[in-house]
Structure 1
Amino acid sequence: MGNNKNGVVLLLMAAINFTHILDFMIMMPLGNYLIPYFKISPAQFTYLVAAYTISAGISGFLAAFFVDNFDRKKVLLFGYVGFLAGTLACGIAPTYGFLLLSRLFAGTFGGLIGAQVLSIIADMFAYEQRGKAMGSIMSAFAVASTFGVPFSLYLANLISWHAPFLMVVLIGLITIPFLLKYIPSLTAHIQAGDKPTMGQRWSIMQNVLKSKQQRMALIFSGLIMMGHFLVIPFINPYLEFNKGFSKQQTPMIYLVGGVASFIAANWLGKLADRKGKLLVFRICVLAALPLVLLITALPDMHFAIVLVLFAIWFTLSTGRGVAAQAMVSNVIPAATRGSFMSFNSSIQQLGTSAASLVAGLIVAKGTNGRILHYNWVGYLSIAVLMTTVIIGLRTFKQTDVVRRVNPV
């Protein structure tokens, strides 16, 4: 019965992840709709994309000072309801300014969600089983890429750009009653009778800064996101304007990559539990480096081969993410895990924002819309990911635990 209950919890956490990941991801391909609709510049559109991650990063940082004083279930529900309210506002936004404020509002609560999901998983699953659990949760990213984004674009074409946001709200409203029923109250991390003062709350931050392992774990987490998202924003423009693939072909990248990620998240999560998370992380990073070179300086080849390359790349990227977050969650005791994972979520958001900004500064627009210097972005991504391997070896080598029993 316990295993069934944990399975339901994993499914619900994945559903939460699906909605708030899709809400973030759908903004980028909606540029073709929003720019002419609101008569805004490309720069103004980037503010819409960045608004969510910036506000999420700030709220995640601030939340770290108080979330461990409360039941994790209550914090999760509070954040999720606020996120859905912000997304609803996006779906009915009549003006650009209203939509920008709505994105900031949704991101503020979205910053609470990611950290709480990870903390709940870390509280409910032993470290030796956490790779599989993290894999199940992170498979939501694959589902969002594979089914969520294409279906959202279909709705945008069929109805309007408002429809994808309203779809996210509908899914969220269906999910909430199940959260209330099946997510247990999680208060074991709260010390009985202990109500921290503001000074004690600030000491949470000081404790993170004083602990070398915690500091390096946060840097490690942020750099992984940066190394990955350096390449992501310009995949579609590069394939279309540089390599000549059509708008009908390029969405297949995310479909195939999403399916591969969904399979990899579960399979590599289990493998990480058996063989060691640090080992799986290193293999996934190193095996992906040649693919980064190929993707960012793609020779002429049949589109079927391109799909295979991206499927492998998404598989390895998912594997390193699953193993990495399982290791990061283990550097902190349960009593302050919520605060630490809030810091972690904030750093991840900043890593994603930094990647988009840096990639935008590096690439240039050539004739006929061609993307210039995309290979430079690939070189930087490789350098960042190699740095994470070095940090990982120094930070997690002593704490990585391998399951010593055969899985049933």
Structure 2
Amino acid sequence: MSLTGPRSQRTLVLALLSVASFAVVFNNLIITPILPEISEDFGVRVAVAGLLVTAYSVAGGVAAVFSGPFIDRVGRKPVVVAGMATLTVATVLSALAPGFVPLLAARALAGLGVACLTPAVFAAVGDLFSYEERGRAMSWVISANTSASIFGVPAGAVVSGVLSWRWTFVALACLLVVFTWLLFRRLPPDAPREAGASGNGMEVVPRVLRDWATTAALVSNYLSTSYWFVFATYMGAYFHDEFGVAKWALGGLTMTMGLGVLAGSNAGGRLADRVGKRPVILWTSAMCAVFIALTTTAAGAMAMGLGFLFLFAVSGGARFASSQAMMTEMSPAYRGTVMALNAAGQQFGIVTGSLVGGLALEVGGYTALGPTAAGLALVSMVMYGLFVQEEGMAGRRRELAPE
């Protein structure tokens, strides 16, 4: 089903899905600026407090693998609303947590909510917007989650600094209550599904993975997240140690990347609708490789390093919008399952990227980070170039129809 109603209805639906995406990223990143205060409040080391991020990511990554068939069977809207409601409850529990272990459990619960919410949102974009306009629609959703890192997280940090970290969660919970109500009331219901169109359970996952093009696209996207975090994990340390950037100013690096992704996703999504998603994915993957390699090997001054970093983020944003749009059409009968597997791959890509980056740093120092990330970017590009085609995407509805 694609939306064919008035422009105002289409804008409303896109805004609602963007709101859900914003909430996910805000909830994910809000721990970063308040982690020191949580550590001090509960009397645990910062390294131990970092388990809050691990619990969230691991729970989300593992649960996402199992959420896909559920999303396809139940429908997008019920899962989006349920995921947002779970995120709301988890955030309230986080604000009220009497100790570190209950807070850890609350963050794991938030990861479970996101495991359903994220793939359901992207699957809904695929359902409601035609493939020819999906790049633009996806760019709006990605812009919303990027805005969370640019504007939402700093605002949460201010609340924590003025009041406390608990009030940051209270403020976020209030927003989530409003978002849940809006999604429940205004998000269009799912279109009726054909009998058997969603499969019966986890057997759908191997059925999807038997399609080599879908599997290759999933692996390519996993690698794209990995190469991003090869550098992003150690970005602050690199600019601090190599260029003397003050610790208080390191937040500007995240904003630089966020603005780059914001610009790239909007330009890339629209360009992908005009010239095709696959060409944009291939070219921007190559550009990512070039600019991230230059960031750590050819930046003789901080301004040059920031310039290369911004161009890397622009390229990455364009690739992300295009690849998400194309991913929704790889196995349309199992769109929820595909997007859930894609979300799981992104979570595990974060872990892989940080580990590979750490190894590169140990072996070759900061200079090795860029070329290592570039190598993964080129492998990601080759995976798409050799095994994923865009021609005849509509025909995949018939070829991959339920057995």
- TM-score normalised by the chain length of structure 1: 0.88
Query: In the alignment, is the contact (CA less than 8 A) between 2:134 and 2:325 conserved in 1?
Result: yes
**Which residue in 2 is equivalent to 1:238?**
238
Q: Distance between the aligned counterparts of 2:300 and 2:94, measured in 1?
A: 40
Deviation per CA, 1:152-204: give whole Å up to 9, x if none.
2222211122233223222211222221232111133x324x5988xx42331
Where do residues 162-311 of structure 1 align in structure 2 (5 Å cutoff)? 162-188=166-192, 190-192=193-195, 194=196, 200-297=200-297, 299-301=299-301, 303-311=302-310
Contact 2:329–2:393 under 8 Å retained in 1: no
Contact 1:231/1:296 (<8 A) preserved: no
Match of 1:323 in 2: 322
8 Å CA contact 2:288–2:377 kept in 1: the answer is no
In the TM superposition, what is the alpha-carbon distance from 1:237 to its structure 2 partner? 2.3
Output one character per residue of 1:213-270: Cα deviation in whole Å (capped at 9) or x when no partner: 1211221221111111221122122222332111332222223332332232222211
Partners of 2:160 and 2:228 lie apart in 1 by 27
Matched, 1:72 2:71: no
Matches of 1:357 and 1:309, distance apart in 2: 23
Q: For 1:52, which of 45, 49, 56 is the aligned residue?
A: 56
Task: Say if 1:50 and 1:353, in contact at 8 Å, map to a contact too.
Answer: no
* Alpha-carbon distance in 2 for matches of 1:37, 1:297: 41
Relative to structure 1, is the Cα distance of residues 287 and 214 closer, same or farther in structure 2, using a 3 angstrom cutoff?
A: closer
Mapped partners of 1:314, 1:7: distance in 2 = 27
Tell me the amino acid that sits aligned with residue 336 of structure 1. Y
- TM-fit CA distance, 1:117: 0.4
Residue 31 of structure 1 and its aligned partner are, at CA, apart by 3.3
How much does 1:349 deviate?
1.3
Q: CA deviation at 1:148?
A: 1.4
2:64·2:116 contact (CA, 8 Å) conserved in 1? yes
Relative to structure 1, the CA distance from residue 168 to residue 64 in structure 2 (aligned partners, 3 Å threshold; closer, same or farther) is: same
Rounded Cα–Cα distance in structure 2 between residues aligned with 1:53 and 1:313: 24
Give the deviation of 1:304 after TM superposition: 4.3
Q: Distance in 1 between matches of 2:278 and 2:191?
A: 30
299 and 4 in structure 1: CA distance in 2 versus 1, 3 angstrom threshold: same
Distance 2:357 2:147 in 1: 26
- Distance of aligned partners of 1:195 and 1:209 in 2 relative to their CA distance in 1, 3 Å threshold: closer
- Decide whether the 8 Å contact of 1:143 with 1:258 is kept in 2: yes
1:201 alignment partner, SS class: coil
Q: Report the Cα distance in structure 2 between the residues aligned to 1:362 and 1:105, rounded to whole angstroms.
A: 33
Q: 1:181 to 1:162 in 2, by over 3 A?
A: same
Distance in 1 between the 2:263 and 2:292 partners? 21
Question: 1:333-385: CA deviations, max 9, x gaps?
Answer: 2x321122112211221112222333345545xxxxxx982333322211111
Q: Trace 1:22-101 onto structure 2 (pairs within 5 A).
A: 22-101=26-105
Distance 2:57 2:339 in 1: 16
100 and 363 in structure 1: CA distance in 2 versus 1, 3 angstrom threshold: farther
Structure 1: 5+ residue runs without aligned partners? 365-370, 403-408
**2:386 counterpart residue number:** 394
SS in 2 for 1:349: helix
Q: Over aligned residue pairs, what C-alpha RMSD do you find?
A: 2.4
* Aligned-residue offset at 1:129: 0.7
Q: Residues 195 and 279 (structure 1 numbering): CA distance in 2 closer, same or farther, change over 3 Å? A: closer
Alignment correspondent of 2:348: 350
Cα 1:401–1:196, aligned 2, differ >3 Å: closer, same or farther? Answer: closer
Aligned residue pair count: 390
* Structure 2 residue aligned with 1:405: none
SS of the aligned residue for 1:64 comes to helix
**Which has the higher mean CA deviation after the structures are superposed, 159-168 or 93-102?**
159-168
1:298 and 1:81, CA in 2 relative to 1: closer, same or farther beyond 3 A? farther
Aligned-partner SS, 2:203:
helix
Q: Which residue of 2 aligns with 1:377?
A: 369
Which one of 106, 112, 118 corresponds to residue 114 of structure 1? 118
Equivalence for 1:337 = 335
Instruction: Provide the C-alpha distance between the structure 1 equivalents of 2:253 and 2:175, rounded to a whole number of angstroms.
Output: 25
Q: What residue ranges of structure 2 are gaps of 5+ in the alignment?
A: 395-403
Residue pair 1:60, 1:346 contacting (<8 A) in 2 also: yes
Of the structure 1 ranges 208-217 and 286-295, higher mean CA displacement relative to structure 2 is found in 286-295
Of residues 126-135 and 348-357 in structure 1, the stretch that sits farther from structure 2 once superposed is: 348-357
Instruction: Choose from 10, 14, 34 the match for 2:18.
Output: 14
In 2, Cα distance between equivalents of 1:360 and 1:96: 28
Give the distance between the partners of 1:376 and 1:35, measured in 2 at CA: 32
SS of aligned partner of 1:184:
coil
Equivalent AA in structure 2 for residue 357 of structure 1 = L
Q: Residue 327 of structure 1 contacts residue 396 of structure 1 at CA under 8 Å; is this kept in 2?
A: no
Cα distance, 1:196–1:113 mapped onto 2, change above 3 Å: closer
Alpha-carbon shift at residue 133 of structure 1 (Å): 0.7
Distance in structure 2 (CA, Å) of the matches to 1:399 and 1:105: 41
Letter in 1 for 2:352: A
